[in-house]
Amino acid sequence: AQSVTQPDIHITVSEGASLELRCNYSYGATPYLFWYVQSPGQGLQLLLKYFSGDTLVQGIKGFEAEFKRSQSSFNLRKPSVHWSDAAEYFCAVGLTGGSYIPTFGRGTSLIVHP
């Protein structure tokens, strides 16, 4: 069965600093990969997705993620964090083809210091 690991429960960064949130997955083939963001009291919003092709994916709000097959990773990055980026971030993996039900990681809570 597929699984997703987000090893960092909390990450604290200063505003303007760079950010990298880690995500590792376990799956036999190349899955669909996603990053979602959840602001307090809100639903999940899709930041970016990887299905195939270029392994560096650009998303909304200045985020990007890189798929590394050899490391089974799909880390999320942002060069300069804004206070409004404080939220919960979820990595998700889905099967290619067939009934698509993503598996979500436990999430990483991002705290941004002014």
Q: Answer for the pair 109, 6: CB distance below 8 angstroms, yes or no.
A: no
Q: Answer for the pair 89, 37: CB distance below 8 angstroms, yes or no.
A: yes
Please tell me whether residue 52 binds other proteins under the rule CB under 8 A: no
SS (H, E, C) 34-100: EEEEECCCCCEEEEEEECCCCCEEECHHHCEEEEEHHHCEEEEEECCCCHHHCEEEEEEEECCCCCC
- Contact pick of 12, 42, 55, 58 for other proteins (by CB under 8 A): 42
Please tell me whether residue 14 binds other proteins under the rule CB under 8 A: no
Please tell me whether residue 32 binds other proteins under the rule CB under 8 A: yes
| 29 or 101: CB nearest other proteins | 101
- Contact pick of 46, 56, 60, 111 for other proteins (by CB under 8 A): 46
Please tell me whether residue 101 binds other proteins under the rule CB under 8 A: yes
Residues that bind other proteins (CB under 8 A): 32, 34, 36, 41-46, 49, 51, 90, 94, 99-107
